[in-house]
């Protein structure tokens, strides 16, 4: 019996390990692929338990509901219901006297109960509720034994302690692993975000900007543009009002540019007082109009120095299109040259090519 319990536990932990790997690579695969592989994984783990039953005297039981309950509770209906249908159909094909109650009470009932609590899955501190849910699912599975078998109450009493303890311990172990994975994912996402984010303006830094825009150039339609934006006389602002005010102006300009971000427009900080903008899937005229709007917005915006003093600033902008058989780096260089021309022409203007 204990060997069978450990076998079921091993299947559950292996399922968790493979699911963790899937979640790690989730950003690299399509949503359809992720959900399809998840459904196959959960279905296979449940079906494997059909062939590794836990023997209690003359009765054969398993832990099939645990993967369904956990995936329903933490991931929602898409994975849980699909896996339930596949595993339920497999159990139907296997036949046997326990087929109908096994599907209804061992799979459908616990899954629906877990789905009812799915919206509360992120409330990490409510441990009593989670434990109660697990016990409730176990009772849905095993209480029918009382009514479906001869001497059902006696059988239930004989197996209740071992069944409940094995379910609770397995559930706690899996829950701990899931929480550890979530914490590791959170830390990984934070590190990834910080590695690609400018700490002052919260825009993409140069390295991350190039990574993101490279992907956009590959996936979006032709006609891509790069604009370089430079705040005019920024050194004078720092010398006159101090570097803290200079930083505040950089943040305010970043907010202005950030408001224009869409699927086809990406903003980053290039360095110092320079910002970089990607514009995709547009025409030359529309790209120019957008830059004119940004130029006007910066020019008309009042930047707060203190409670009594506001100032206005201007910016110079260079715009360049990504030509066929050219590279992103070459286009950035062209935009930078146009920015230099704008500054040489008296600043507060934009030059395009």
Catalytic residues: 273
Q: Please list, residue by residue across 11-48, b when 16 or more beta carbons sit within 10 angstroms of its beta carbon and e when fewer do.
A: bbeebbeebeebeeeeeeeeeeebeebbbebbbbbbbb
Helix (H, G, I), strand (E, B) or coil at 122: coil
DSSP for 239-303 reads HHH-HHHHHHHHHHHHHHHHTT-BTTEEEEEEETTEEEEEEES--HHHHHHHHHHHHHHHHHPPE
Write out the two tokens for 291. Answer: 């830059």
Which sign does the torsion angle of CA 66, 71, 77, 82 carry? negative
As a whole number of angstroms, the distance between CA 317 and CA 319 comes to: 7
Write out the E strands in the chain.
Answer: 54-56, 59-61, 224-231, 265-271, 274-280, 303-304, 310-311, 315-321, 350-352
Q: How far is CA 10 from CA 6, 7, 220, in A?
A: 6, 5, 45
Q: Can you tell me the distance from the alpha carbon of 19 to that of 342, in angstroms, rounded to the nearest whole number?
A: 54
């Amino acid at each position: 019996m204990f060997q069978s319990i450990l076998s079921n536990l091993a299947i559950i932990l292996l399922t968790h390990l493979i699911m963790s790997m899937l979640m790690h690579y989730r950003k690299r695969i399509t949503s359809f692929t992720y959900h399809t592989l998840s459904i196959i994984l959960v279905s296979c783990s449940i079906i494997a338990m059909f062939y590794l039953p836990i023997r209690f005297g003359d009765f054969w039981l398993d832990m099939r509901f645990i993967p369904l309950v956990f995936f329903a509770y933490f991931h929602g209906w898409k994975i849980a219901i699909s896996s339930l249908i596949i595993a339920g159909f497999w159990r139907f094909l296997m036949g046997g006297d326990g087929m109908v109650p096994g599907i209804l009470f061992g799979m459908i009932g616990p899954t629906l109960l877990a789905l009812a609590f799915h919206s509360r899955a992120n409330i990490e501190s409510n441990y009593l509720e989670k434990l109660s849910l697990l016990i409730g699912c176990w009772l849905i599975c095993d209480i029918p034994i009382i009514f479906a078998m001869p001497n059902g109450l006696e059988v239930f009493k004989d197996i209740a302690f071992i069944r409940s303890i094995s379910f609770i311990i397995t559930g706690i172990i899996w829950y701990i692993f899931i929480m550890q994975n979530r914490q590791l994912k959170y830390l990984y996402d934070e590190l990834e975000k910080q590695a690609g984010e400018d700490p002052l303006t919260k825009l993409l830094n140069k390295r991350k900007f190039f990574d993101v825009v490279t992907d956009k150039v590959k996936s979006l339609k032709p006609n891509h543009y790069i604009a370089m934006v430079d705040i005019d006389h920024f050194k004078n602002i720092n010398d006159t009002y101090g570097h803290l005010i200079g930083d505040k102006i950089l943040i305010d300009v970043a907010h202005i540019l950030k408001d224009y971000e869409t699927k086809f427009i990406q903003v980053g900080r290039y360095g110092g007082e320079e910002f970089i903008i990607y514009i995709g899937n547009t025409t030359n005229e529309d790209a120019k109009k957008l830059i004119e709007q940004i130029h006007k917005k910066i020019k008309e915006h009042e930047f707060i120095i203190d409670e009594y003093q506001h100032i206005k600033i201007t910016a110079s902008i260079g715009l360049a299109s990504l030509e066929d058989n050219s590279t992103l780096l070459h286009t950035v260089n062209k935009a930078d040259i146009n920015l230099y021309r704008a500054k040489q022409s008296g600043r507060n203007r934009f030059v395009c090519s």
